[in-house]
Amino acid sequence: MGNLARADTHNPEEREGEMNRTLAIVKPDAVGSGKAGKILAHLEKAGFTIKAMKMTRLTQLQAGRFYEVHRERPFFDSLLAFMTSGPCLPVVLEAEGAIPRLRETIGATDPVEAAPGTIRALYAENKERNAIHGSDSDENAAREIAFFFSDQEVLELSG
Ligand code: IDP
Ligand code: MG
């Protein structure tokens, strides 16, 4: 390991290997069809460390808040019905370059467009029931981790 801290890195704790965290959610289709274990194994094989996870079932209100940005989309009501249809599994993942790495590992939203070998290519049913969520930016990763995990849980993670 070189000791080349990036010039724009101010927090010394963030220097080593540029480790950071993102949020995945194993969605209700994948949990319900017994694919959660395979998906977690896929994520570990792709270089992520699981830092926290919990099985939960979203309420309509929670799903609406989580997907607030899509409220005006034609698929919003259907997405909420899907996301509240059964348990899901939010997971905090750590890796170097975690946010882009997760997006690459999960593949395109629609499984027919997802690159071969990606989680969605392997496990998604269709564009809506697509097995897994991944945060799309640093800002959203922080927001989405905080959405599911309390300050105390996150603090305990950093120990
Ligand atoms: P992403 O999950 O790949 O980031 P987004 O565009 O952020 O995709 O959409 C959020 C979720 O909404 C998708 O993962 C999928 O479950 C659902 N979704 C997105 N586009 C469509 C669509 O055109 N039809 C049905 N569901 C969709
Ligand atoms: Mg998205």
Cβ 24 vs Cβ 93: under 8 Å: yes
Locus of tokens 């830092």: 51
- The reply to whether ligand 1 has any atom less than 6 angstroms from the CB of 125 is no
* 69 CA → ligand 2 middle, Å: 9
What was the pLDDT predicted at 152? Answer: 75
Using DSSP, state whether 129 is helix, strand or coil. coil
* pLDDT given at position 17: 62
Give the residue whose CA is nearest to atom 16 of ligand 1.
Answer: 128
The rounded Å distance from CA 78 to ligand 1 centre is: 11
Q: Tell if the pTM clears 0.85, that is, is over it.
A: yes
Amino acid (1-letter code) at residue 16: E
Given CATH 3.30.70.141, say whether it is the number of domain 19-57+87-152: yes
Does the CB atom of residue 135 touch ligand 1 within 6 A?
no
| C-beta atoms surrounding 148 within 10 Å | 21
Query: Is 133 a known active-site residue?
Result: yes
Largest CA distance in the chain: 49
- 127, 132, 143: which to mutate for ligand 1, most atoms within 8 A of CB? 127
Query: For ligand 1, is residue 79 a contact (CB within 6 Å)?
Result: yes
Ligand nearest to C-alpha 106: 1
Nearest protein CA to atom 5 of ligand 1, as residue: 109
The residue whose CA has the least distance to atom 11 of ligand 1 is: 128
pLDDT, one tens digit per residue, over 74-85 is 999 999 999 999
The pLDDT tens digits along the chain (159 residues) read: 344 444 444 444 444 568 999 999 999 999 999 999 999 999 999 999 999 999 999 999 999 999 999 999 999 999 999 999 999 999 999 999 999 999 999 999 999 999 999 999 999 999 999 999 999 999 999 999 999 998 777 667 665
Q: What is the pLDDT of residue 159?
A: 54
d(CA 128, CA 52): 25
Distance CA 32, CA 136 (A): 25
Residue 51 in contact with residue 31, Cβ under 8 Å? no
In the chain, domain spans = 19-57+87-152
